[in-house]
Amino acid sequence: MRAAVFEDIDRPLSVEDITPGEPGPRDVVVRVAASGVCHSDLSVIDGTIPMRKPAILGHEGAGVVEWAGPEVTRVAVGDRVIASFIPACGVCWFCLNNQSNLCVEMATVSRLRRGSRADGTALQPMTGLGTFAESMVSAEMSVVKVETDLPDEYLALIGCGVTTGVGAALNTARVEPGSTVAVVGCGGVGQAVIQGARIAGAARIIAIDPVALKREVALALGATDVIDPADGNGREQVKELTGGLGVDYAFEAIGIPAMITETFDLVRNGGACVIVGVPRADADLTFPSASLLFGEKRILGCLYGSAQVRRDFPRLVRLVEQGQLRLEDMVSRRIQLDDVNDAFAAMRAGEVIRSVIVDEHHH
């Protein structure tokens, strides 16, 4: 089967024939029907997120179970599933305490090697998934069954960007009706934060992004105001829009330390700054201590939108079905696996919210 292989930092992915891994009794084989190309895949390629090589990238996907091991109980052949880039084992301390986004099995699945290249080299699928492939062998705990008629590409987006962004607003920040929100960085995750804030009933949602296309989409998806940071006075504009206070919740969806500090600066006293973007693993963040103590400003880390995937994936599916969560505007391009490197170029150029790889043979 074909897969997109990461060979080394700053090199294009190699789309090639590989030999799939042998599934175990608690594994499933999933035919990948759609896979979003997420910024975190680019972060592996550019070295921001360290990963053992060679690897099959892709961690935002959905498909159909083609084979299930004899000990698999949660899914069956023919089920539609969304891949969860953090597994939810259901039995560790975190899974039992409503924090399955911190499931201890993450460390296990992300170390697994599955399948090999033509020369015999073992491959590591990203986060135990590797959705840039025709099919994937994954642990049962890494997939969640959903019952819906929604298109594959929508389900794929729920696998990472949508859950991360909507979850950041609904789970991590718990945005309440009437509140004020700023979102810094309006790619796939930022757009999902905007939608989550809208669904939560935020009265003012300020979208901040230098790319005109992203500001346009933000307005279509629920932003009430947009700011181009190139204008140079973003902070003043946010203050003006919030009666001089600053926002209740500001979300940083880029992962650049200096931007996180600026995002923190948009928050009113007593409000919260939510860190959704992924900074370099070795990056330190700087915050003024007086704002933390005397201003009681909070900094909230956010992994996978604090999601409980077995609760939240079906919940997000229902929100899409009911038209409250709109994903059509987030799928900018439908592409083939062979075009995956073009998708990264488009991402770097700010031309897309999301490119989604779809399986043409099943459309």
Cα dihedral: 259, 330, 324, 74 (round 10): -100
Looking only at the bridges linking them, the beta strands covering 333-335 and 80-83 are unpaired
Q: In whole angstroms, how close is the CB of 167 to Zn ion at the nearest point?
A: 12
* From 85-93, 144-152, 270-278, 308-316, span contacting Zn ion (CB under 5 A): 85-93
| Closest to Zn ion by CB, 60 or 252 | 60
Least distance from C-beta 84 to Zn ion, angstroms? 11
The length of the chain, given as a count of residues: 363
* Binding window for Zn ion (CB under 5 A); candidates: 15-23, 68-76, 100-108, 320-328: 100-108
Among 89, 218, 275, 356, binds Zn ion (CB under 5 A): 89
- Judged by CB under 5 A, does residue 95 bind Zn ion? yes
User: Which of 34, 146, 160, 173 lies at the binding interface for Zn ion (CB under 5 A)?
Assistant: 160
Distance of closest approach, residue 48 Cβ to Zn ion, in angstroms: 12
Cβ proximity to Zn ion: between 103 and 144 the closer is 103
Strands (E), 71-203: 80-83, 124-125, 135-139, 143-145, 180-184
User: E strands along 25-160, which residues?
Assistant: 27-37, 55-56, 61-68, 80-83, 124-125, 135-139, 143-145
Of 49 and 245, nearer to Zn ion (C-beta) is 49
Is residue 136 a contact point for Zn ion (CB under 5 A)?
Answer: no
For β-strands 27-37 and 135-139, DSSP reports them as antiparallel
Question: Burial level of 269, CB count in 10 A (0-12/13-18/19+)?
Answer: exposed
**Number of amino acids touching Zn ion (CB under 5 A):** 8
**Rule CB under 5 A: is residue 192 a binding residue for Zn ion?**
no
Q: Is 38 near Zn ion (CB under 5 A)?
A: yes
Report in angstroms how near the CB of residue 224 gets to Zn ion at its nearest. Answer: 27
Q: Looking at 5, 18, 28, 92, which residue binds Zn ion (CB under 5 A)?
A: 92
CB of 90 to Zn ion, least distance (A): 6
Q: 339 by DSSP, 3-state: which? A: helix
Q: Does 62 bind Zn ion (CB under 5 A)?
A: no
Nearer to Zn ion, 83 or 103 (CB): 103
Cα separation, 283 vs 281, in Å, equals: 6
Distance of CA 33 to the CA centre of its chain: 18
* Tokens coding 190: 């930022």
Nearest to 110 by CA among 51, 63, 67, 69: 51
Does residue 103 touch Zn ion according to CB under 5 A?
yes
Applying CB under 5 A, the residues found at the interface with Zn ion are 38, 40, 60, 89, 92, 95, 103, 160
